[in-house]
Amino acid sequence: MNIRAQMSMVFHLDKCIGCHTCSISCKNIWTDRMGTEYMWWNNVETKPGTGYPTLWEDQDRYRGGWEVSNGKLRLKLQGKIGTFLNIFFNPYLPTIDDYYEPWTYRYEDLFNSPDSDDQPSARPISMITGKPIEIEAGPNWDDDLGGSPFYAEKDINLNVLTESEKHQLFQLERLVFFYLPRICNHCLNPGCVAACPARAIYKRGEDGIVLVNQEKCRGWRMCISGCPYKKVYYNWTTGKAEKCILCYPRLEAGQAPACFHSCVGRIRYSGVILYDADMIERVASAEPTQLVTAIRDIIKDPFDESVIASARKNGITDQVIKSAQESPVYRFLKVYKLALPLHPEFRTIPMLFYVPPLLPVISSLRGNSFELRDEFFPTAESLRIPIKYLSALLSAGNEKEVIEIYKKLIAVRIYKRSSSVGDISRMEMKKVMDEAGISTDEAEEIYKLTSLPTYADRFSIPSFMRERVIETLEQTDVRKTETGFGFIKKPKRGW
């Protein structure tokens, strides 16, 4: 056993209201510089939909993540020879049109226009060329367009449905969408790190945050292709790659990342987990149906004496171990088994997990009015969004994993209805709870952690003793001159 600590995260999709506050707080702090205009380290997409950048999940097009070939785990992108041949032209990159052309407005037109009968308007101007543009796309252009033929119907996860299932999904009374907020997953087996020929991307030892060394980066952009989630971006001013840094300067000060802190729906939870680094290759190579179980298995019980001993041996402090014991992520993922990784079949072992959305029940048109089709509480099989679709998104096609979670989520709803409104008998409630395999105590805890969590319940952030870590690596007076993200001295291009 080789225990390491990792900052990991849970997003509860039922609570996301699609307000984009998270994206804006991130943008204001980290990507309001020249060269970063099109970057959204945090973005919120509507699902079903094509996302940002367009069709990022299509790995036939982008070749991100890993595959098992002849029993061996290898990057889907290319091997060493492929890297060498493609180094001056990487064919598997999204173009600016796949993101969107960033723009601003010519605000001075509002003040300088001559007198006229019409109100002046500010023309949109491309932030890349400085010329007027017609706006045709944006990072959340498909917002709320759950039934759109341009966006929703092109969602690649719908390929697992039959034509008739797809047709039913897009019936007006069945239309459905939910929000999927995305940041870098700070994976345990990151494709971006493995793809970088300059070894500029690394995983920080003490908390597993994946960072790009701006001095080492040569701008080859293999990391952008290697990341199947398309969460590395290219800064066209500095010629370097950039990505979500999980607000590590905030974490080091005991604060939650800005997108977590500002989240209006309070959907975001974060905390340390302890994992066994010796298992990474085995977990990443698991059969698709076993991937979710394997990812759960790599995360170890922070109360187990042998885990604690191995953690201490690796220099993990007691503060971090205590924080792992209090982590809401551990509870969602291992204790209640309610959260799933996004596209585990990309095999990067993502450390951001999602509680799937318990969408409204299906109603159908009877005469002139809509009526509930089933009882008020659906079964896992009668949910508005097909289990097959959710399992393509969150469990590498393993429908059982998704059904088990829905049984629990529905059981918690029925339990609360029974105890607070009283129109469901105790016998009926017990039957559902037994089927879902949860006790009333657990249902109460899940309810509290979902609906009434305080800041302390949502975030368990230890002191990472950065000063101690830095002392082992470099001179502290060098570090003293560096603050935040960016450069004290502008880096020289390598060509």
List contacts with ligand SF4 (CB under 6 A).
Answer: 16-22, 44, 179, 181, 184-187, 190-192, 210, 227, 229, 231-232, 243, 263-265, 267, 348
Distance CA 102, CA 111 (A): 23
23: amino acid identity, one letter: S
Closer to ligand SF4 at the Cβ: 17 or 85?
17
Give the nearest distance from C-beta 152 to ligand SF4 in angstroms. Answer: 18
Closer to ligand SF4 at the Cβ: 358 or 443?
358
Instruction: Provide the Cα torsion 191, 194, 200, 202; round to 10°.
Output: 70
If we measure between CA atoms, which residue out of 432, 399, 437 comes closest to residue 415? 432
Distance CA 47, CA 346 (A): 19
Question: By 3-state DSSP, what share of the chain in percent is helix, strand and coil, each rounded to 5?
Answer: 40, 15, 45
- Contact status, residue 18 vs residue 179, Cβ threshold 8 Å: yes
Give the nearest distance from C-beta 326 to ligand SF4 in angstroms. Answer: 22
Closer to ligand SF4 at the Cβ: 194 or 387?
194
Give the nearest distance from C-beta 191 to ligand SF4 in angstroms. Answer: 4
Residue 32 neighbours by CB under 8 Å, 6+ apart: none
Closer to ligand SF4 at the Cβ: 42 or 50?
42
Residue 428, classified by CB atoms within 10 Å of its CB into exposed (0-12), middle (13-18) or buried (19+), is exposed
Closer to ligand SF4 at the Cβ: 77 or 387?
77
Give the nearest distance from C-beta 275 to ligand SF4 in angstroms. Answer: 14
Give the nearest distance from C-beta 333 to ligand SF4 in angstroms. Answer: 17
Closer to ligand SF4 at the Cβ: 243 or 407?
243
- Contact status, residue 26 vs residue 258, Cβ threshold 8 Å: yes
- Contact status, residue 351 vs residue 8, Cβ threshold 8 Å: yes
Element spanning 310, H or E: helix 305-313
The DSSP bridge partners found for residue 203 are: 210
Give the nearest distance from C-beta 182 to ligand SF4 in angstroms. Answer: 9
If we measure between CA atoms, which residue out of 193, 215, 177, 207 comes closest to residue 51? 177
Closer to ligand SF4 at the Cβ: 291 or 387?
291
Closer to ligand SF4 at the Cβ: 230 or 408?
230
2: amino acid identity, one letter: N
Give the nearest distance from C-beta 224 to ligand SF4 in angstroms. Answer: 9
Give the nearest distance from C-beta 22 to ligand SF4 in angstroms. Answer: 3
